[in-house]
Amino acid sequence: MKRWLLLISLMVFSAVVFSFSAPVDSPRVSATFGEYRGSGNRGPHFHMGIDFSTGLKEGVPIYASERGWLVRIEIDEDDIYGYTVVLEHENGYRTLYAHLSRFSKKLETVASSLKQEFGNVRIVVNFPEKEIWFEKGEVVGYSGTTGEAPIPHAHFEIRDRNEEVSYDPSTFLNLPKPVDEDIVLEKIKIGDSVYDFVEGRTYPFSGNFPDLAIKAYSKGFNNTLGLKKISLLLEGEEIYQISFDQIPWSEFTNVWGVYDRKSVSAAYRFELWYKLFPETFSSMIKVNKFPELGKAPDFAKYTVVIEDIWGMKKEFSFYLQRR
């Protein structure tokens, strides 16, 4: 009986997960969930959705990921999201479509009249529940650069009904794998010292525990992308794990819980440095056995296991020696 209940639960979960579809034709991921963002009028923050390439073109149709009703539109060229559409779906989730250049025909008349009446100010309009519906695959707007978007693209989010939590959309979407998929660990930082990463090399550290950070990324569609999950193993046992499966909006700006301050996200420079030791609270830290260890061994083998949004997993091993 328990086995049947488990199978039914898995079937229901799969139905919810894969009911969503990508909001663009031929989806190519250009930014992942949870990436560090250092710009914008809200200061350093997490990227709360996935970006899809539109080939650097404005005016590319953006589609409803699932059948749902209109919750609100946001009209603001300067805020972080720019022109935005939010839908709610019968599976209990909400989806958000941002940086639009313009809204769909269904919404453009309303948006234009509001802009004419109120001028160039931020306008947020909430709509009655289940009054205006969008079918799955119906155009909600067109790609653009409104808000914090240096180039045209489609920004897509999945949130809970109360919009208190954002979820990694890659969990809900059946995304095609890129042919150039890879995971790279480029550098390692221990305390204030930075080293090129070399498999099997021994690095020095001091103190009870190594203040360890890594510069790492995944690759896909000619883009440098953030990671899905990072685990740190000490002599084969997992002692630390970061996972970007969901982010509460209460932690929107709590980036330093998982990112090192060497992280950069700018137009022509993108470096993500992930901290692999506890310093401040973050709900993205799923495993933390540092308090139980008391003190790191004088010499030991460490392994970093990294996973991307498509399920690729790679291991990188090295040794740390106390000096």
What is residue 42's predicted lDDT score, i.e. its pLDDT?
76
Q: Which of 226, 300, 318 has its CA nearest to residue 29?
A: 226
Q: Terminal CA-to-CA distance of the chain, rounded, Å?
A: 57
Q: Which of 127, 126, 116, 78 has its CA nearest to residue 99?
A: 78
List the chain residues with pLDDT less than 50.
2, 5-15
What is residue 6's predicted lDDT score, i.e. its pLDDT?
47
What is residue 19's predicted lDDT score, i.e. its pLDDT?
82
Q: Measured between alpha carbons, how far is 81 from 84 in angstroms, rounded to an integer?
A: 6
- Dihedral over Cα of 166, 171, 172, 173: its sign: positive
> pLDDT tens across 267-298, in order?
778 999 999 999 999 999 999 999 999 899 99
Q: Measured between alpha carbons, how far is 309 from 67 in angstroms, rounded to an integer?
A: 25
The predicted model scores a pTM of 0.93
Average pLDDT of the chain is: 93
What is residue 126's predicted lDDT score, i.e. its pLDDT?
97
- Domains of the chain with bracketed CATH: 50-167 (2.70.70.10), 182-322 (2.60.40.1930)
> pLDDT tens across 130-189, in order?
999 999 999 999 999 999 899 999 999 999 999 999 999 999 999 999 999 999 999 999
What is residue 9's predicted lDDT score, i.e. its pLDDT?
45
Q: Measured between alpha carbons, how far is 143 from 49 in angstroms, rounded to an integer?
A: 15
> Do 147 and 154 form a contact (C-beta atoms < 8 A)?
no
What is residue 243's predicted lDDT score, i.e. its pLDDT?
98
